[in-house]
């Protein structure tokens, strides 16, 4: 297989940084991006090409960045839409701005959803002209299974799942493939204050839920999932190596035992609901 070029968003830490390290280890070319070039210095020293890129920038700015990347580094084969962070909190509290100037949901969606939409729009014309390309969407188990106190973050990931399914149907005939990854709890910086914001107004009626969210936040550093192993598996999926050799790329794949169990339970519940209420559901035609 020829040396592939990957562009990864959100590489200052977490999965993004690990993707770059693994891609370089495989002998491929990695274009690492982040809002600040200073945060990419170690990846640059390791051999990555680096580009300042903020997914919340305008569509025109992102289009120009992608064109610049191809002009500087050559054709891009794979884009990993990884940039994102988690806003959590009770829905009723989500409009409490905590001395911030922007609504919690708007801020969350600007990065996690609209940033992904704009990045995907920017790369699609290039992939379409070449009739080739892979788009990796970093979703979450929370893009499939809800939980209390996480509506800003989880709903942004639910939207990513719907976006990806539509995109796949629109572009598969152009040999553009879309892979959705649904990580469970992995030992990254996802629960630190930099990438995880808790919007808690202190309402007494939600005290127990806020305590539960605080306990989840305290899990930082003890999560079961190994992020390095997960990234290796995702690269295998894209390249068709390791456990993915000889298999077609899946449309979506949960990562981690917790994610597999949670999504399986959700699917079983959905099937039971369809069976229990089929007569009512199907009795609505003319």
Please give the positions annotated as active site. 153
Distance of CA 108 to CAs 47, 88, 118, Å? 32, 10, 15
Question: What is the rounded CA–CA span in Å between residue 21 and residue 54?
Answer: 21
SS (H, E, C) the chain: CCCCEEEECCCCCHHHHHHHHHHHHCCCEEEEEECCHHHHHHHHHHCCEEEECCCCCCHHHHHHHHHHHHHHHCCCCEEEECCCCEEEECHHHHHCCCCCCCCHHHHHHHHHHHHHHHHHHHHHHHHHHHCCEEEEEECCHHHCCCCCCEHHHHHHHHHHHHHHHHHHHHHHHHCEEEEEEEECCECCHHHCCCCEEECCCCCHHHHHHHHHHHHHHCCCCCCCECHHHHHHHHHHHHHCCHHHCCCCCCCEEEECHHHHHHHHHHHHHHHHHHHHCHHHHHCCCC
């Amino acid at each position: 297989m020829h040396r592939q070029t990957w562009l990864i968003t959100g590489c200052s830490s977490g999965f993004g940084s690990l993707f770059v390290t693994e891609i370089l280890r495989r002998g491929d070319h990695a274009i690492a991006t982040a809002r600040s070039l200073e945060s990419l210095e170690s990846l640059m020293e390791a051999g990555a090409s680096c580009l300042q890129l903020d997914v919340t920038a305008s569509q025109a700015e992102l289009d120009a960045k992608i064109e610049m990347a191809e002009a500087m580094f050559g054709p891009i084969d794979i884009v990993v839409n990884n940039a994102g962070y988690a806003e959590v909190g009770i829905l009723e509290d989500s409009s409490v701005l905590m001395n911030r100037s922007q609504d919690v949901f708007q801020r969350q969606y600007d990065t996690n959803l609209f940033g992904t939409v704009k990045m995907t729009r920017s790369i699609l014309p290039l992939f379409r002209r070449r009739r080739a390309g892979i788009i990796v969407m970093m979703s979450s188990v929370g893009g499939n299974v809800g939980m209390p106190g996480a509506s800003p973050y989880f709903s942004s990931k639910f939207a990513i799942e719907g976006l990806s399914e539509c995109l796949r149907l629109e572009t598969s005939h152009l040999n553009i493939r879309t892979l959705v990854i649904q990580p469970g709890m992995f030992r990254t910086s996802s629960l630190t204050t930099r990438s995880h914001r808790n919007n808690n107004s202190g309402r007494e009626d939600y005290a127990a839920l806020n305590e539960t969210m605080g306990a989840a936040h305290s899990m930082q550093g003890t999560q079961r999932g190994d992020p390095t192993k997960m990234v290796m598996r995702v690269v295998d999926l894209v390249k068709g190596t390791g456990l993915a050799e000889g298999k077609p790329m899946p449309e979506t794949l949960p990562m981690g035992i917790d994610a597999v169990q949670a999504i399986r339970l959700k699917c079983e519940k959905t099937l039971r609901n369809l069976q229990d209420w089929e007569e009512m559901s199907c009795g609505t035609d003319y």
